[in-house]
Amino acid sequence: ARRPHYHVHFTPTSASWINQVERWFGLLTERAIRRGVHCSVGELERDIRAFIEATNADPKPFRWVKSADAILASVKRFCLRALEAEPETTPLQRTSDAGHYDSGFERSVIIDALSTDKGELSKLIAVARAVPESIVNRIGPAPKAGRRRWLALAEQMKRPLVAKEVEEAVMEEAFASLDSDARFVRVAALAAPQNRHASVSASWAGQGGRATAQISRKGTGVTLAIERDPSFGDYVASRLDELYAAFLAEDRSRTPCESERGNAANGKD
């Protein structure tokens, strides 16, 4: 793609200012001009001119005409114009913008660009860092999901087990068929603490009460605790292969509607 023409105005007067303009040109040139390698204004000017000549068919003369503060102010105005071009900014877009700017701009510039404050900016960047870009892209903009819900998801995604389950869920074919807001709801529900710790319990008593059992469901696991008659527990354990084969045979014979009703009764999605 054709590179745009840049009109840059900067007046170098000290080493610290050289460092600032190096950083700014590094962003514009995709790191072709590196930060911290120029010992003088002359060296920096030489590399800038070389880049301009290499990327423009008809390069204009390069000269310094404005201060570093003016350059940074122009960056702020550019960011603001970019955001004003899309007034319906969703929480996800603001998070993505914060993550993008965080890699190349000072916090004060990002705050001005996103029209936010230091506290909210920290939260937006936390979401951008905690939720992998691959998951964000699979979820989509989710316009109905507010900033607080994204923050809650980011907090849960810090746990490796949660992150792994979410990464697997977003790759499912059924997940892709949902709209963006529904995909966010699905991920948020999967990561929610109450869903991960909720348990359902039931009791069973055999004929005559000789054997009893407690059945508890927690997350995706089921625990069967047989009491009073340990030999019955041994009996069940020795026939797990038979029981599972019978379960598979019965499950295959059920209709889709019956399967859905069975899953709902057992607390499955």
pLDDT digit string, tens, across residues 50-89:
877 777 777 777 666 665 556 556 655 555 554 444 444 4
pLDDT band at 146 (very low <50, low <70, confident <90, very high): confident
The whole-number pLDDT of residue 218 equals 67
pLDDT band at 29 (very low <50, low <70, confident <90, very high): low
Residue 130: which of 105, 104, 100, 151 has the closest Cα?
Answer: 151
Distance CA 248, CA 217 (A): 20
pTM reported for the whole predicted model: 0.37
Q: In the chain, where do the E strands start and end? A: 199-205, 212-218, 221-227
Most confident of 94-108, 180-194, 255-269: 180-194
Distance CA 4, CA 28 (A): 10
Domain boundaries, the chain: 15-66, 131-197, 200-230, 239-269
Residue 261 scores a pLDDT above 60:
no
